[in-house]
Amino acid sequence: MDPEQRKNLWLLLLVGGLVLGTVWHELLVDWVPALGAWDEAVLLGMVLVLVFFRRVPCRTVSLGLPLAAYASIAFGSAVWNGLPLGLLRHTLIYMIAALAASQLERETVRRLLRVLVLVGAAAASYGIVSFVCFRILTGGDPTRPALSNPVEVFLLYPYYNGAYPRGWRLVGTFFNDNYFGVWCVALAALGLMLLRQERGRARLGLGLASALLFCASCWTYSRSATLALVAASVYLAWRLSRKVLVVLGLTVLVSVPWMTWRDSHRYTHLTETAGGRLQSVQRAVDTLTGPSMLLGHGPGSRGLADVQYAKTAYELGWLGLLGLAWLLACALRPAFRGLSPSEKPEDRECRLGLGAAILALLAGGCGGDIFEIPQIAITLWSLCGFLAAFEPVHSICGGGGGHAIGEAAKGGAGRLSIPEKGPMNLQAATGGDWEWDDRSSG
């Protein structure tokens, strides 16, 4: 096994373990408090792998520069405001997942995404069973009657662990209706696109998984999940077919049977949490028009804002907002690239599914601090990295072709993309094994 293969294997194990394990994050930490930093340990392991092999493929350039710029702005804001640099850990460390995930091969990404959707469906199934059992046991009353046997303890664990006082909505393995609902929407959109590539039992399995994720998201009765569903549906309707918008109507039909007055009240009245979000937006506006408009008040200075973009504006000012906009624009560029007849159907479906999932998570940022919640942040930045793997190679490398030719001259394997030119006998010239890629730019 050559160094490149060893590096890819290590990254697959680390990225796969991180993405697939994050859905059980709260359960792991609640059962074994010593595992509180397991995700950060895995992320640091990714850094060690990248440093040890001393080579970052050119495809990460599309995310590397904006990530470095955003990190520099956060660092400068912390120094300017005299805050401990340790506060940067809560936001920046999860972005490492994007750099590592972007280096996986496309086929590896496709397989990992299928497993992720199935794991998400397992978590959604547990959440649905727990939710239904709790509703039957309590009739929708958020009080918690005493449990009589171990089966009830297992089924109703999310409502008895003490972390979620409002126990009448589906909270799943996140123990939180808001973030779990957004996460389920993202994976449901991803599964919907992946099943288009499959046939037979695989198609049926992904379809069932997407349906379970969709139902779980509806029964969270989360306004952020509703925004996420609208964002993903509009994107897929624009890129594929308007028939996708039927999902919005299905949401109402699925949500009604278990809806209580508390759930409908959240959509029709300005609740305490909605009022708090408006205050966060007002504080962000005051920051952007005040003395701290450039670098904000420093990372970690806002605390819980429940609106990610208002939090970024308050903490990092205009520079932070612009840096974040650049980062997200680079991350989403493959999702908005035109549909090419030469593109493989499986690549196109993955690209659109990842775009819908990322937009769903970003829409959830209107109702939560998505860059600091491990389950959402890890999923978001990993999906951004996966999407970067579907960017045309030559459109990212730019002038990096010389490095690739140099690697081939040493007998390595590579891929060369030269738009609008015929094949050249590079294999004979370099002695390497080349896979020709004639995709046009963009």
Model confidence pLDDT, tens digit, residues 149-172: 888 888 888 888 766 655 678 999
Tens digit of each residue's pLDDT (9 = 90 or more) over 121-145: 999 999 999 999 888 887 766 677 7
Give the pLDDT confidence score for residue 182 in this predicted structure: 97
Spatial distance between the Cα atoms of 122 and 124, rounded to a whole number of angstroms: 5
Query: Residue 441 above 80 pLDDT?
Result: no
User: DSSP for 256-292?
Assistant: GGG--HHHHHHHHS--HHHHHHHHHHHHHHHHHTSTT
When pLDDT is cut at 50, 70 and 90, the band that residue 405 belongs to is very low
Please state, for a pLDDT cut of 70, what percent of the chain lies above it: 83
Asked if residue 114 lies in contact with residue 329, where contact means CB atoms within 8 angstroms, the answer is no
Spatial distance between the Cα atoms of 70 and 315, rounded to a whole number of angstroms: 13
Give the pLDDT confidence score for residue 169 in this predicted structure: 87
* Ramachandran angles phi, psi of 415, nearest 5°: -135, 135
Which residue's structure tokens are 């493929």?
57
Query: Residue 113 above 70 pLDDT?
Result: yes
Give the pLDDT confidence score for residue 17 in this predicted structure: 95
Instruction: For residue 172, give the DSSP letter.
Output: G
Query: Residue 437 above 60 pLDDT?
Result: no
Tens digit of each residue's pLDDT (9 = 90 or more) over 292-333: 999 999 999 998 888 999 999 999 999 999 999 999 999 999
When pLDDT is cut at 50, 70 and 90, the band that residue 60 belongs to is low
**Per-residue H/E/C for 389-427:** CCCCHHHHHHHHHHHHHHHHHCCCEEEEECCCCCCCCHH
Query: Residue 395 above 60 pLDDT?
Result: no
* Segment holding 376, helix H or strand E: helix 374-388
Q: Which of 12-16, 89-93, 366-370, 401-405 has the lowest mean pLDDT?
A: 401-405
Query: Residue 412 above 50 pLDDT?
Result: no
The pLDDT mean for the chain works out to 83
When pLDDT is cut at 50, 70 and 90, the band that residue 342 belongs to is confident
Question: Greater confidence, 271 or 2?
Answer: 2
The mean pLDDT value for 229-242 works out to: 93
Asked if residue 354 lies in contact with residue 390, where contact means CB atoms within 8 angstroms, the answer is yes
Reduced to 3 states (helix: H, G, I; strand: E, B; else coil), residue 345 is: helix
Give the pLDDT confidence score for residue 400 in this predicted structure: 41
Q: Which of 104-113, 241-250, 392-401, 403-412 has the lowest mean pLDDT?
A: 403-412
Quick one: how many helices (H) and strands (E) in the chain? 21, 2
Give the pLDDT confidence score for residue 80 in this predicted structure: 96
* Segment holding 436, helix H or strand E: strand 433-437
Asked if residue 63 lies in contact with residue 102, where contact means CB atoms within 8 angstroms, the answer is yes
Give the pLDDT confidence score for residue 391 in this predicted structure: 81
**pTM of the complete model:** 0.86
Give the pLDDT confidence score for residue 442 in this predicted structure: 36
Asked if residue 56 lies in contact with residue 281, where contact means CB atoms within 8 angstroms, the answer is no
Question: Greater confidence, 271 or 294?
Answer: 294
Query: Residue 55 above 60 pLDDT?
Result: no
CA-nearest of 64, 51, 57, 55 to 415 is 57
Spatial distance between the Cα atoms of 380 and 96, rounded to a whole number of angstroms: 11
When pLDDT is cut at 50, 70 and 90, the band that residue 438 belongs to is very low
Query: Residue 146 above 70 pLDDT?
Result: yes
Top-ranked range on mean pLDDT: pick from 126-140, 223-237, 339-353: 223-237
